[in-house]
Structure 1
Amino acid sequence: MNLRALVSVTGKPGLYKLMGQNKGGFILESLDNTKIKSVVNLNTTKMATLEDITIYGEEEEIRLLAIFEKIKANDGTTPDAKADGNALREFFREVAPGHDETRVYTSDIKKIINWYNIIKEFPLFEEEAPAPLQ
């Protein structure tokens, strides 16, 4: 799974594709149907690539990519992100066993489900990640 160019921006809903960089910051394109391009300044905005995001685990952190892989392996179906909190938590116990239920909130689960539903149709989801630089 090659999701290196996909980022989450603090304070903005949805996901963005990193298009490039200029003097003002990074150029991002939204992955929703609007395809709006914007520039974010890293001095004032925090963003994280999906490959770097982890969630709290009881023993160790769980990579977001591992959760996406587990969802994909379970036929790729997810509950509606607006479903009951108990249903969302039950689903998340299946795809992220060992997550810390006191520190992973229902809002986090909803965000992960929404992100998965955004990217599941993109070819990036099927590509292999490039080897890490040495």
Structure 2
Amino acid sequence: MNLRGIVSVTGRPGLFKLIGQNKTGFILESLDEKRVKIVVNISTAKMASLEDITIFGTEDDIKLIDIFEKMKGLSSLPDAKKDSGDKLRAFFNEVAPDHDEERVYSSDIKKIINWFVILKGFPLFDEEAPAPLDAEAVGEDKKVEREELAK
């Protein structure tokens, strides 16, 4: 699953794809049907990459990617807008059985379900996540590029 570049912005509904950066902030494109492009100011907005989000667990935190993988295998999802908190909690116990029930609220569960509904129409679930960049290898690549430019 490849969630790199998919972010949530505090105070804005939905999810966004990071498409660039300018002097004042990040350029984002909404993942809904409107595909609205916005610039989010670095100093005033908080963004969270879905790749880095974790959920409170009883022992260790649970990665959002792992929860999405389990949700992907299910045939039906609860309706986050209509179903009761008890039904949402029962569903979440199925996909994340070791989550901390005291610190993971119904609003968090609703948000995760809504994010999954947005993302399930994209090919992200079939893509492999890119390997993390190795700082040493990046430094070697830059050194090679400088040497080639010097010739």
Q: 1:17 and 1:126 mapped to 2: Cα distance?
A: 17
Q: Output aligned runs, 1:81-100, within 5 Å.
A: 81-82=80-81, 83-100=83-100
Q: How many residues align?
A: 133
Matched residues, percent identical? 68
TM-score w.r.t. length of structure 2: 0.86
Shift of 1:111: 0.3
The alignment's TM-score, normalised by the length of structure 1, stands at 0.96
Measure the CA separation in 1 of the matches of 2:6 and 2:125.
Answer: 11
1:50 match: 50
Aligned to 1:78: 77
Alpha-carbon distance between aligned partners in 2 of 1:128 and 1:106, rounded to the nearest angstrom:
30
| Structure 1 segments of 4+ aligned residues over 4 angstroms from their partners | none
More helix per residue: 2
Gaps of 5+ in 2: 135-151
Q: Which structure 1 segments of 5+ residues have no match?
A: none
SS in 1 for 2:111: helix
Deviations 1:61-86 (A, max 9, x none): 000000000011223x2100021000
Q: Distance in 2 between matches of 1:110 and 1:61?
A: 18
In structure 2, the residue matched to 1:119 is: 119
